[in-house]
A and B are shown apart, each in its own frame.
Chain A
Amino acid sequence: MSKQTAAPPSRAGAEEQGSTGVIDAPAQVDRNQLAREHNEVKERQKDRFAGLNREQLIGLYRQMLLIRRFEEKSAEAYVAGKIGGFCHLYIGQEAVAVGAISAIRQDDYVIASYREHGHALAKGMSARSIMAELFGKATGCSKGKGGSMHMFDKDLGFLGGHGIVGGQIPLATGAAFASMYQGKDQVTLCFFGEAAVNQGAFHESLNMAQLWKLPCIYICENNQYGMGTSLARAMSLSDIAQKGCAYEMASEFVDGMDVLAVREAVQRAVERGRKQSLPTLLEVRTYRFMGHSMSDPGNYRTRAEIEKYQERDPIKLFSASLIEEKVIDEKGLEQIDKQIREEVEDAIRFADESPLPDSDELYTDVYADPIDPSRNRNQ
């Protein structure tokens, strides 16, 4: 934020904006209060409609809903034993990936953590290729070798899901470095959770990015829990946007339940990246409605807290705004939902029917240039 950084929004400030600032769980749900907050956020969101045409608005809605339905089906398939290993769902956070990725070009890079099904979809990867990967099938985007945490698509500039908390942050910095090195005006979006902010990789990367003016946009999806440990129990300074100050990096606080707020903030960051080759740190307050992974009992937070955030469900909020602004009606929304459910069903069918990787695949892709000593010896 050029020098908007000077005074990053405090947590108290976030509360005034009606954002998802509260960390301590309320004992009980005050439904009237929730309804008031919902309306406030919605009003602000509607102010952001200007400049977007119908197709764009519906496109954003469609993508968020696709992620929601995709993840719901993933959960079902996981319970049914079709998906193995870890499966970290993105439900509740859809506005972040969709809003952010809607603000970049096709040739820009996106990289994310292990909770990346949504980012992969938003970057344009097909539901089929992602579901097939979850099913461990040969037709998966990573040929069944990566699974839930390692979706990749080179052609679409999706640089992967990465399984070590914070591990993707230096990688993103490197992709942005490459753009700078080659004189291209691409930007890199780097998504990570707030728990990654405590890793050295975050601080080492931000330092280099600002020092060398790298067009990397660090998007901290603050869903307020690192697995089962709340932000308050894990971070001495919990205003994450403020950490940009340590590196003189532009930073901004964003309401992650408002897809248009995310889009606008990322647009500002993209502008800074393309025009000035400068990085940005965005703290996007969001909430995951599901557990950390499918095996999470979730006993570290209250039902009331979850309900509070479900009231701010980014999809519910946006659909209400779309209807009130007469962009679409209930029937139109139902139709979209029907199409999306079909798309996800198709992905499930495709994944189910796809073949397992051939046994020979075990030993492929270990090296790009496998060495045969007997061949080399005769060189």
Chain B
Amino acid sequence: MSIITIREALNQAIREELARDEKVFIMGEEVAAYDGAYKVTKGLLHEFGPKRVIDTPITELGFAGLGVGAAMVGLRPIVEFMTFNFSILATDQIINSAAKMLYMSGGQFKIPIVFRGPGGSAFQVSSQHSQAIESWYTYFPGLKVVMPSTPADAKGLLKSAIRDDDPVVFIEQERMYGNKGEVPDEPDFTIPLGVADIKREGKDVTIVARSLMVPVALKAAEQLEPQGVSCEVIDPRTIRPLDIDTIVESVKKTNRVVVAEESHPICGVNAEISMQIMERAFDYLDAPIKRVSGADVPMPYAKNLENLAIPDVNRIVAAVREVAYLD
């Protein structure tokens, strides 16, 4: 085990997969000479050269589509969006081309591509550069959507995503690149897609959280322990397909659920998770599901307003206490 940051874990994953398979290349804005806007691709140009590590013009629709076309004929592109905010320009190619190609070609053209980059809230960059749009991509059959919350998950899941034969939207969290954690040293360490992880075991309340909300939920669980509430924290890690079984098993044990996410509440991923829990485990619920979400407003700039827009430990603690009927 080594203790490294999420940024370093992602870098290792990309480096190892570039070394493993000639068909893999990475392209995006500033990924090469600049070493990555967030340094995720640091050193890769030096190691693999400009054929495999490619700086693109600022042309998101164009290079996303180019990646899909290259994947159609056998390459395995990693397309980096400097942030997922800019992927909005490329949605036609991600949704109309990548997600649907296999189906509308009757199974002929698989699209082994990874669209990755940071998403979610960033630090005081206001509305256009700070938002969680994973529910958009999660909506579409044909895409797989992954959101890691630890360095080990980041590395293991990204390697699996690169090896996967389907288009994977891999959303890192901009605020979490510097977070540290243990990562196994085995050269072929991977984590399968589609499997939730129980980040903390507990018996009274299940908290379903992903990405930025995982460390927040874990802190909330710590605070609640001395208050006599034992929380189980589940990180789906892959939100399409969703490992609902692991969540339902937990609900059957705790009978109470809080779902936490930093995205807007309406049509968010947790709305779907809540519905599936209701469909599969309604009789096990001892309280209505409580959700904690980002504010339903564009992200503000001012520090105090930004803090109010992103869920924090206190809000998760309050929600858990509510479903546990403690208040």
Contact = CB atoms under 8 A, between A and B. Distances in A.
Contact of B106 (A144, A177, A372): A144
B73 interface: yes
A140 B64 CA distance: 29
Given A142-B104, A159-B72, A368-B165, A377 B64 contact: no
Nearest to B100: A150
B61 interface: yes
Which of B56, B73, B112, B242: most chain A Cβ within 10 A?
Answer: B73
Contacts of B63: 170, 204, 208
B56 A373 contact: no
B69 A173 contact: yes
B246 A377 contact: yes
Contacts of A272: none
Contacts of B117: none
A5 to B, nearest CB: 21
Given A173-B65, A177-B69, A208-B62, A167 B96 contact: yes
Contacts of B93: 167, 170-171
B109 A160 contact: yes
A377 B241 CA distance: 13
Contact of A377 (B56, B69, B243): B243
A162 B101 CA distance: 10
A143 to B, nearest CB: 3
Contacts of B108: 142, 152-154
Given A368-B165, A371-B144, A159 B56 contact: no
Interface string B58-87: 010111111111111111000000000000
A371 B194 contact: yes
B147 interface: no
Interface in A356-373: 364-369, 371-373
B325 to A, nearest CB: 32
Contacts of A140: 106
Contacts of A167: 65, 92-93, 96-97
Contacts of A177: 66, 69-70, 75
B107 A364 contact: yes
A91 to B, nearest CB: 24
A211 interface: yes
Interface of B: 25, 51, 56-57, 59, 61-75, 92-93, 96-97, 101-112, 141-142, 144, 164-166, 192-196, 238, 241-246
Given A174-B65, A366-B102, 5 more contacts: A109-B73, A164-B92, A171-B72, A179-B73, A368-B111
8 contacts: A143-B107, A152-B104, A174-B73, A204-B57, A208-B57, A368-B165, A371-B241, A377-B245
Interface of A: 109, 111, 140-146, 150, 152-154, 159-160, 162-164, 167, 169-179, 181-182, 200-201, 204-205, 207-208, 211, 364-369, 371-374, 376-377, 379
